[in-house]
Amino acid sequence: MSISLDTIVNLSKRRGFVFPSSEIYGGLRSAYDYGPLGTELLRNVKNEWWRSLVQLRPDVVGMDSAIIQSRRVWVASGHEQVFTDPLVECRNCHQRFRQDKLEDPEQCPSCGLRGQFTEPRQFNLMFRTFMGPVEAEENLVYLRPETAQGIFINYENVRRTCRLKLPFGIAQIGKSFRNEITPGQFVFRTREFEQMEMEFFCRPEESSRWFEYWVDHRRQWYLDLGMTEEHLRIRPHSEDELSHYSAATVDVEYLFPWGWDELEGIANRTDFDLRQHAEHSGVDLRYFDEQTGERFFPHVIEPAAGATRTTFAFLIDAYTEEEVNGETRVVLRLHHRLAPYKLAVLPLSKKPELVEPAAKLADALRHHWMLEFDVTQSIGRRYRRQDEIGTPYCVTFDFDSLEDHAVTVRDRDTMLQDRVSMDRLVDYLRDKLEV
């Protein structure tokens, strides 16, 4: 089913996934705040990435580097010189655009006039600020445009303290900032976003094999979490697309409402970054192989995904509309590992004799899972609301529960119901939610 971007934007605001930032002051372009449900969904996406790349692997460790780093980091990496986009401005309406993203390089997409663009100039995408009380050139620093360089400058610290031997990886999740010329498509392209990046260090002669391994591994991660296979593809970069450091790069792309676009890049960065930082810092970052006596710069394979962008794609992919008894049922068929709430506890009525024991049950279940306790509206409307926010299971406490000490568990996807004794409810749900 194809859905519009407006449908997802409206759902996101109505149900508390994403709000426009600074909305009471008129908003701030391309800035968004994550509401209660969006915060949980985003956290679950990041947790699943971390679980797959760090927790379940003996060869990858994690770290968390500073957002503001020495300016020399960005000189060495090349960002200060080449991290730019070609900017043009329409002389008629004064709107600015990335030249390489214009469908028609002669026509302004804002006012429609042709031949009004200025000559392109290179625009650096890094946010500038100053460290200390004086705004002087020597105090200039940047908000990091990627998390990767924080890994490279800590490569030797991590390798030494964790006693790592090749091949090994260092993973990181964190905020990055890019002063995009033309942000848009809701949370897809924003100036502040979160990245999930891993740098996998290996022997140079093994880099091609590890590159293919990580392409397959990362594609499978999306499929294992329920993403539709037909909505996912691997697109290799052509020679003229490759970054200055890359020997090979592919994009994992998703079929968004506006077409195919990037979810994640996987690059063979060779030894570019370690060589650059060794040269600019004067610190020897070569790897010493104790068995052969060799010293060399490892090559690096980098899977780099956008956490916010990936969350957005999972939200789109899960959205479903279906007809039930002549009515439209909206369902977010999120994988249970990603769902913001794993279950909802619903007393059948607002009467205290049901609400009080149902609330105690909810408090007990909170020790195991994120959940919602809801007493508003009819039970049918509450089911529909939980379907729309992706809750896998609803637990209904009814009048019979007072006698048989059992509850009704409803499955989001099938709408089938089981009667389950409360003394085995945790085991019943664990079998379904923790696989």
The answer, yes or no, to whether residue 123 has pLDDT greater than 80, is no
Give 321's pLDDT tier (boundaries 50, 70, 90).
Answer: very high
* Amino acid residing at 17: F
pLDDT digits (tens, 9 = 90+) for 79-114: 888 777 788 889 899 888 888 778 888 899 889 889
Choose between 204 and 86: higher pLDDT. 204
Contact 291, 320 (CB under 8 A): no
Dmax over CA atoms of the chain, in Å, equals 79
Please report the pLDDT score of residue 3 as a whole number. 86
Give 308's pLDDT tier (boundaries 50, 70, 90).
Answer: very high
Question: Which residue spans of the chain are classified as CATH 3.40.50.800?
Answer: 341-433
Spell 221-234 as b/e; 16+ CB within 10 A means b.
bbeebebeeeebee
Please report the pLDDT score of residue 179 as a whole number. 86
Question: Which residue spans of the chain are classified as CATH 3.30.930.10?
Answer: 5-62+130-316
Average pLDDT of the residues in 33-61:
97
Contact 45, 314 (CB under 8 A): yes
What's the CATH code, domain 341-433?
3.40.50.800
Distances (CA, A) of 6 to 11, 13, 290: 8, 11, 58
Average pLDDT of the residues in 2-17:
92
**Cα 289 to Cα 139: distance, rounded to the nearest angstrom:** 40
Give 281's pLDDT tier (boundaries 50, 70, 90).
Answer: very high
Please report the pLDDT score of residue 408 as a whole number. 97
The answer, yes or no, to whether residue 182 has pLDDT greater than 80, is no
Give 1's pLDDT tier (boundaries 50, 70, 90).
Answer: low
Pick the CATH number of 5-62+130-316 from 3.10.300.10, 3.40.50.300, 3.40.50.140, 3.30.930.10: 3.30.930.10
Rg (alpha carbons) of the chain, rounded to whole number: 25
Distances (CA, A) of 184 to 24, 25, 143, 188, 258: 20, 20, 21, 7, 12
Q: 3-state DSSP call for residue 45? A: helix
**Cα 206 to Cα 160: distance, rounded to the nearest angstrom:** 22
**How much of the chain, in percent, has pLDDT values that exceed 70?**
100
Tell me the average pLDDT of the chain: 93
The answer, yes or no, to whether residue 348 has pLDDT greater than 80, is yes
Average pLDDT of the residues in 320-349:
94
